[in-house]
Amino acid sequence: MTNGAGIFSGVFSHGGAATGADAWLQAMLDTEAALARAVERAGLAPAGAGAAVTAAAKARAFDPADLGRQSALTGNPVPALVRALAKAVPPDAAGAVHQGATSQDIIDTAAILLARQALGMTQSGLAVAAGAAARLAAEHRATVMIGRTLLQQAVPVTFGLVAAGWLTGMDEARETLALVAARRLVVQFGGAAGTLAALGADGPRVARLLAEELGLGLPVLPWHTSRLRIVEIAAACAGATAVLGKIARDVTLLAQTEVGEVREGSPGGDGGPGDGGPVGGGGVRRGGSSAMPHKRNPVAAIAILGCTRQVPGLLATLTASAEQEHQRAAGAWHAEWQPFSDVLRLTGSAASWAAELLGGLTVDAARMSENLAATHGLPLAERVAGLLAPAIGRPEAHDLVARASAGAVEQGVPLAGALLGLPGVRQRLDEARITPAQIEAALDPAGYLGAAGEFVDAALAAHAAHEKPGQSQERQ
């Protein structure tokens, strides 16, 4: 299993749930302990057996590396783990270890336990990030900036609308994750071939008790080769990372030196100019470059993208692995373990980074205004054409403004001057009773924002409803 600790963990295991070897080992032991308690409750093991197994089922008492080596003999680590656990308990309790189960029951249930923790932490990170986005949307509801389509200046928008888009995406991702967590996290318990034959008539009852012990749902039947749950969990994570990747990409583009409309803050800093607070030893500051001291790289946004770019490929592997033969897969099930772990870890890391990113994001409204003015009114060409159309017809108005726009670019003058300087235009405007002042007013970006404010308000209202106690449960 990929371990959360390591040289890259600061980027790819940033505040998310642990899904490394130790976490997997403890989740498998938790499953074995819960099973021992369940069989005792069912009257299939002596009193105290469940407590004895639970007391012994601590990851620190086992060697993950040794279990890993032994897994080469059996194709998975559970047989070796079961032998070690049975030796660690009193003889009269050993019979309660792994009773009626197969290796896949233990690993699949452990995977669900890891998913429960990871989804919870991801949702917590997204909740913090969404709260920060809501504050940005409200604060900058009327902060005008240029909208960009195909990476080119388009028409004015507001930064509040941009943040509202981020907010809505995260809230929708949170709803999907909550739905999956509520409905798809179930126990796996089917025995050798999904019949629980080893437990006879007690099988279904033990399965129910196992689910109760772990606080998981009870599926209609075992799902050894029906892998929709794994795909759905991973797909919900992929949706969340898609949302977070979009936010991070926006920030990297807006934070470019030539754009400079936003910048990241530093941990513990206020995000203001010169805030390059240290994040480690040796005077290293967030955003610093090993070769270029002047740089202030958007580290949080970059780290999010480093996480989110990996998830689609991992989801593809899990989806491909869902085709499994008969009652137990030969290889496809094994292919799930590492990518599933990585999806959970990377999604949680991206959400944690997003909480930091948006919580410390600084918006430069003055720079937004400068960038908006840099094209001398060209982004408002559409509005000017709309002003002229009733008087001179839409096709002619479009052609006239297009000629004026080309002239403005060639001559480096404002659009209004280029338009009024075209031969015969002033007379046509006088005849249509359109004044130069009206042209200038049409070129005011603040007057061409459409429903931007209303959309921001709608996003904030939806977010507020989402945050009401019990609201997310109602939506499920």
Q: In the chain, list all ranges with CATH 1.10.275.10.
A: 15-101
Active-site residue, selected from the candidate residues 289, 394, 426, 475: 289
Query: CATH number for the 378-442 domain, one of 1.10.40, 1.10.357, 1.20.120, 1.20.1080?
Result: 1.10.40
Identify each DSSP E strand in 19-143 by its residue range. none
pLDDT of residue 267: 60
Fold (CATH) for 103-186+223-268+294-373+449-476: Fumarase C; Chain A, domain 2 (1.20.200)
- Is 472 one of the catalytic residues? no
pLDDT of residue 102: 98
**Phi/psi at 263 (nearest 5 deg)?**
-150, 150
- Is 328 one of the catalytic residues? yes
Q: Is the dihedral of CA 53, 59, 64, 66 positive or negative?
A: negative
pLDDT per 10-residue tile (average), the chain, 476 residues: 71 90 97 98 98 98 95 97 98 97 98 98 98 98 97 95 98 98 98 97 98 98 98 98 98 97 74 40 52 71 98 98 97 98 98 98 97 89 89 88 89 88 83 87 92 98 88 40
* pLDDT tens track for 287-327: 554 555 455 799 999 999 999 999 999 999 999 999 999 99
Q: In the chain, list all ranges with CATH 1.10.40.
A: 378-442
**Is the separation of the CB atoms in 246 and 169 below 8 Å?**
yes
∠ Cα 466 468 473 (to 5°): 70
Tell which CATH architecture fits domain 15-101. Answer: Orthogonal Bundle (1.10)
Active-site residue, selected from the candidate residues 328, 367, 403, 428: 328
Nearby residues of 163 by Cβ (< 8 Å), 6 or more positions away: 133, 134, 136, 137, 140
Q: Which amino acid is at 130?
A: A
Q: Rounded distance, CA 105 to CA 420, Å? A: 78
Question: How buried is residue 246: exposed, middle or buried, by Cβ count under 10 Å (0-12/13-18/19+)?
Answer: middle
